[in-house]
Structure 1
Amino acid sequence: MPGDTVHLLFTTCPDAESASAIARALVGERLAGCVTRLPAGTSTYRWQGEVTEDSEVQLLVKTTGARLHAAMERIRELHPYELPELVAVAASAGLPAYLDWVASETREES
């Protein structure tokens, strides 16, 4: 879909295995053109009244506006957390050829 805005969707996972499973599913199902995994991050957050720190794997999911909600739903289905981080940011600019590639790779197969 030409002109479809590319989005960067952020989520975190508790371990490499769940991060890999989510990344492979999103790309395999054409919900993301690419998922970059950044290991060994530490998140500090409040959960159920307690301040907590956990090691997590950060996923940077490249998708389009047309596939964003489906990608978010699929992450929710696969994610081991009760409340996964799901934050999307629209790309205001980028290398046109790369943005076109993301759009091409996330196009639904007919």
Structure 2
Amino acid sequence: MASAARPVLSRLGSIRVVYVTAPSKEVALKIARYEWQGKLHEDSEVVLIMKTQDSLVEELHKVVIENHSYDVPAFVSLASDAESLPYAQWVLEQTGGNKSVAVGKDAESI
């Protein structure tokens, strides 16, 4: 588990998540090598995609930090430009709702 230090989120906006395809697992592993604590690593990881609402990103970050085994886990929040209304409603319901989001006649007319 990570340290008990207070989780801090950056809002610098300079990080990018890049989608890349590779012809094989071997090529992907070669491309994905990274340096950590002075050593070159070639590890496999599991990608976890979580859905939440903007107002809960900081709380989600805190939960991830408290439960993750990495010292520096990847945590990048990607905003949606658009989503289907039924899906957005479902995400809001699953994450406790949001009284500031107008769902109904006005939202459906967009």
TM range (shorter): 0.5 to 0.7
Aligned partner letter, 1:54: D
**Which runs of 5 or more structure 2 residues have no equivalent in the other structure?**
1-16, 18-27, 98-110
Which is bigger in relative contact order (C-alpha 8 A, separation at least 6)? 1
1:56 aligns with 2:48: no
Runs of 4+ in 1 over 4 A off after TM superposition: none
Identity percentage over the alignment? 33
Give how far 1:84 is off.
0.3
**As a proportion of its length, which structure holds more strand?**
1
User: Cα distance, 1:44 vs. partner?
Assistant: 2.7
Deviations, residues 11-38 of structure 1 (Å, cap 9, x unaligned): xxxxxxxxxxxxxxxxxxxxxxxxxxxx
TM-score by length of 1: 0.56
Match of 2:72 among 63, 83, 87: 83
Q: How does 1:1-110 map to 2 (within 5 A)?
A: 43-107=32-96
**Could you tell me how far apart the structure 1 residues matched to 2:61 and 2:48 are?**
12
Question: Which sections of structure 1, spanning at least 5 residues, go unmatched?
Answer: 1-9, 11-40
Q: Which structure's CA Rg is the greater one? A: 2
Q: Return the offset for 1:100.
A: 1.3
Structure 2 length-normalised TM: 0.56
Q: Distance in 1 between matches of 2:55 and 2:72?
A: 23
